[in-house]
């Protein structure tokens, strides 16, 4: 079982059959958990950026399918499948550019067809999507941190940590692991306008993990890269081409 050292997540499934999302719009002033019990509510949370980050969006949508199965469990099979198809369409429309959203929904559709809407089997699939993302992030972090020369300063942009994923983070996960391994001398994070994901989320995550970070204005990045001898800039990307671009 893969584990991460951070003690917070963007979302959590409750045994009572509800999904809780950490409302990222409220950070860093307060930690407000949204309790959701329907697929349309999950879609609204995605659309309104209460949950954000491609992997976290995909995981939330997978749990949204489980909520749909629970909501329509008492209906005859044809009506239940029609209602769930409608819920999946609402989830897909919540963020048309999120690749992870469609990957997660595609997996849930396959499971849905095989299990005829059994909520327990759909929940197992959603939990697998979440745990697989965490495992990938931990592997990526180890591989990336091993490349960083000890004593390096690093700059990151936006938020690519636990709040954006199933845990630990992608680009920020590399930074988190490199810091714990003693390879980093300083960490800089840009504010990331206009949503200020760096100022509100990345800085909050690192402070929560007791990792020192220097927050800078976006426009100061070039100057800091020159004056602070930054060796690495580690960021996330929405699309990776086959050649690595």
Cβ distance 100 to 57 under 8 Å?
A: yes
DSSP strand pairing (18-22 vs 33-36): antiparallel
Calpha distance 227→214 (Å, rounded) = 14
Q: Which pLDDT does position 85 carry in this prediction?
A: 96
Q: Which pLDDT does position 2 carry in this prediction?
A: 43
Calpha distance 160→238 (Å, rounded) = 11
Place of tokens 């079982």: 1
| Residue 238 falls in the annotated catalytic set | yes
What is the full per-residue pLDDT of the chain (245 aa) written as tens digits? 345 666 789 999 999 999 999 999 999 999 999 999 999 999 999 999 999 999 999 999 999 999 999 999 989 989 999 999 999 999 999 998 888 999 999 999 999 999 988 999 999 999 999 999 999 999 999 999 999 999 999 999 999 999 999 999 999 999 999 999 999 999 999 999 999 999 999 999 999 999 999 999 999 999 999 887 899 999 998 777 889 88
Name residue 36's beta-bridge partners.
19
Calpha distance 219→53 (Å, rounded) = 23
Q: What is the CA radius of gyration of the chain?
A: 19
Q: Could you tell me the pTM of the whole model?
A: 0.93
- Catalytic annotation, pick one of 6, 87, 133, 238: 238
User: How would you write 115-165 as a 3-class SS string?
Assistant: HCCCHHHHHHHHHHHHHHHHHHHHHHHHHHHCCCCCCEEEEECCCCCHHHC
Q: Which pLDDT does position 121 carry in this prediction?
A: 97
């Amino acid at each position: 079982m893969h584990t991460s050292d951070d003690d917070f997540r963007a979302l959590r499934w409750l045994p009572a059959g509800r999904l809780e999302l950490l409302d990222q719009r409220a950070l860093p002033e307060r930690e407000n958990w949204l309790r959701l019990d329907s697929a349309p509510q999950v879609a609204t949370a995605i659309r309104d950026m209460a949950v954000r980050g491609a992997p976290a969006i995909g995981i939330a949508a997978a749990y949204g399918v489980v909520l749909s199965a629970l909501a329509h469990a008492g209906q005859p099979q044809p009506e239940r499948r029609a209602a769930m198809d409608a819920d999946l369409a609402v989830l897909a429309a919540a963020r048309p550019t999120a690749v992870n959203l469609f990957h997660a929904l595609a997996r849930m559709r396959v499971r849905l067809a095989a299990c005829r809407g059994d909520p327990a089997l759909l929940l197992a699939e959603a939990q697998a999507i979440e745990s697989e993302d965490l495992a990938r992030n931990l592997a990526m972090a180890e591989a990336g941190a091993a490349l960083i020369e000890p004593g390096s300063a690093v700059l990151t942009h936006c938020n690519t940590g636990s709040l954006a994923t199933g845990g630990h983070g992608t680009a920020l996960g590399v930074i988190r692991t490199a810091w714990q391994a003693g390879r980093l001398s300083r960490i800089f994070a840009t504010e990331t306008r206009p949503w200020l994901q760096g100022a509100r989320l990345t800085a909050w995550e690192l402070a929560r993990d007791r990792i020192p970070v220097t927050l800078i204005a976006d426009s100061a990045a070039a100057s800091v890269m020159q004056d602070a001898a930054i060796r690495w800039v580690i960021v996330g990307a929405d699309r990776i081409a086959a050649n690595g671009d």
